[in-house]
């Protein structure tokens, strides 16, 4: 099992109103990425939102560019771009350019989007599933830019695009034309994230051979997520590889269970869920059902303490090791655990120690247990 970080990116909403608040959030995330790099974490994924006060970053490119200069080995992923909110030609070009600058350390994730106000801002009908259809078409166009020589013209339901010839201006040759292409051949690794039990996004990941990232679900849904990936893979004659599967989860490790739980309850994990994610998900058409370990659980019972007990990976080294082994058992096996990164600027030492304990104490024990079981 490999380790990585998934940045929503989550931050205190009042930062958006502070003078210098955006830079403060930016600097915190860079410090976390740098620390993860020194600890040997394999990758980070950094998200994109336009109207989310708790996840207030509209351009993952910028932080990834800074992180590339501040780190040595860790792979840097846009996780995820929301193609329905972009023109495919623009996004294909931006990604190609950044891949050239990172020279092999870049990955890119695509998602349909789940923030209703983001989609409303761009006049996209979320209720009708328009964002999912747009995502599928946009990803098809973006990959076409990377893999098919031009010139060509694509006329879709949502976009009409052209790939310009390399030398497209006859009067002055060698001046105008297509030139951007990815550094990696044929393109950087692509990931697709999903959170619903039968996620169409994860099915698309399986169908296209992309890396699947599972978000915000209880252990009982994990095996179903992989079945969805495999169902997509069968549609195109592929065989899905569990080593490619990423699962994002809330993780906090401390010397004792009590200490770890206290850092969650009193820290930003607790605030983020109590004040934002719990009330929002309970009002988004059943998304909060992903957290239930049993259908009989009511929304009133879905509290922070419930999530700590049934979904979060929180506790001592011994407890967290066992919880991860349980996740591996319940899911059938996955390749990378992505820690949901949080803004623990006010409790920095505890957060950095948690990342260290996970990398240096928990991960080796999980590996040893897996080897012993073979």
| Mean per-residue pLDDT over the chain, rounded | 95
Q: What value does the mean pLDDT take over residues 327-352?
A: 96
- As a whole number of Å, the CA-based R_g of the chain is 21
pLDDT digits (tens, 9 = 90+) for 282-303: 887 778 888 888 889 999 999 9
Structure token digits, residue 340 = 């949901």
pLDDT at 114 over 90: no
pLDDT of residue 222 exceeding 90: no
What span, in angstroms and rounded, lies between the C-alpha atoms of 21 and 3?
29
Contact indicator for 99, 192 with CB cutoff of 8 Å: no
Phi, psi of 37 (to 5 degrees): -60, -45
pLDDT digits (tens, 9 = 90+) for 317-330: 999 999 999 999 99
Count of CB atoms within 10 A of residue 330's CB?
Answer: 14
19 phi/psi in degrees, rounded to 5: -65, 120
pLDDT at 87: 98
What does pTM read for this prediction? 0.95
* Number of neighbouring beta carbons within 10 Å of residue 293: 14
Specify which residues 339 forms β-bridges with: 5, 249
Q: Is 131 exposed, middle or buried (0-12, 13-18, 19+ CB in 10 A)?
A: buried
CATH superfamily, region 2-81+189-254+313-373 = Luciferase-like domain (3.20.20.30)
Residue 225 CA to residue 212 CA, distance in Å, equals 9
189: closest CA among 272, 106, 265? 106
Q: Using CA atoms, how far apart are residues 160 and 217, in angstroms rounded to an integer? A: 36
């Amino acid at each position: 099992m490999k380790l990585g970080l998934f940045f929503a990116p989550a931050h205190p909403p009042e930062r958006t109103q502070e003078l210098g608040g955006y830079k403060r959030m930016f600097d915190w995330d860079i410090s976390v990425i740098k620390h993860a790099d020194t600890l040997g974490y394999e990758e980070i994924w950094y998200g994109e939102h336009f109207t989310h006060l708790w996840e207030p970053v509209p351009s993952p490119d910028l932080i990834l560019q800074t992180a590339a200069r501040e780190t040595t080995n860790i792979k840097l992923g846009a996780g995820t771009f929301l193609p329905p909110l972009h023109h495919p030609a623009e996004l294909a070009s931006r990604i190609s350019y950044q891949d050239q600058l990172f020279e092999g350390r870049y990955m890119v994730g695509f998602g349909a989007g789940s923030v209703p106000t983001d989609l409303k801002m761009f006049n996209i009908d979320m209720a009708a599933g328009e964002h999912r259809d747009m995502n599928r078409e946009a990803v098809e166009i973006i990959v076409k830019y990377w893999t098919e020589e031009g010139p060509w013209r694509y006329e879709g339901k949502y976009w009409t695009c052209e790939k310009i010839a390399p030398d497209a201006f006859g009067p002055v040759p060698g001046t105008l034309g297509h030139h951007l292409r990815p550094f990696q051949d044929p393109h950087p690794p692509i990931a697709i994230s999903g959170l619903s039990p039968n996620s169409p996004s994860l099915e698309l990941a399986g169908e296209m051979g992309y890396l699947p990232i599972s978000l915000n679900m209880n252990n009982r849904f994990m095996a179903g997520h992989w079945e969805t990936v495999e169902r997509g893979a069968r549609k195109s004659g592929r065989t899905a590889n569990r080593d490619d599967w990423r699962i994002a989860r809330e993780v906090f490790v401390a010397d004792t269970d009590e200490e770890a739980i206290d850092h969650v309850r009193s820290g930003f994990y607790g605030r983020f869920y109590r004040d934002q994610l719990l009330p929002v998900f309970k009002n988004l058409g059943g998304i909060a059902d992903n957290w239930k370990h049993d259908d009989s659980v009511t929304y009133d019972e879905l509290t922070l303490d419930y999530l700590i007990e049934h979904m979060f990976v929180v506790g001592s080294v011994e407890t967290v090791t066992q919880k991860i082994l349980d996740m591996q058992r319940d899911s059938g096996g996955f390749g990378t655990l992505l820690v949901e990164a949080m803004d623990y600027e006010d409790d920095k030492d505890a957060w950095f120690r948690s990342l260290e304990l996970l990398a240096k104490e928990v991960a080796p024990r999980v590996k040893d247990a897996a080897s012993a079981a073979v």
